[in-house]
Amino acid sequence: MGITSAIVLYAVIWFLTFLVIIPIRLETQGDKGDVVPGTHAGAPEKHFLKQKAWITTGVAAVLWAVIAGIIISGAVSVHDFDWMGMLPERQ
């Protein structure tokens, strides 16, 4: 795996993890009972984005290390996903 592939893999894992972590412990205006006029009741009251971004960075680093280790070890390769037989044979 090249450096560009590793960076792209980390970015994809980071954003997917961030999208999973964002709704955890989200406090909405409707939950607090203090809806600002002109906003939706589901709008966040406190979102803790900075803390969630740091948590995401740590979780994504661990997931990236595991996935990159599997890819580098050769346990899984692109040829494992060639169900149609379109890739050239391994050399």
pLDDT tens figures, 64-82: 999 999 988 988 877 778 8
> How far apart, in whole angstroms, are the C-alpha atoms of residue 78 and residue 89?
11
Q: Is the pLDDT reported for residue 57 higher than 70?
A: yes
Of all residues in the chain, the percent with pLDDT exceeding 70 is 98
Average the pLDDT over 33-62 and give the result.
88
pLDDT of 31: 77
pLDDT band with cut points at 50, 70 and 90 for residue 91: low
The rounded Cα 14 to chain-centroid distance in angstroms is 4
Of all residues in the chain, the percent with pLDDT exceeding 90 is 44
27 Cβ contact list (under 8 Å, min separation 6): 44, 45, 46
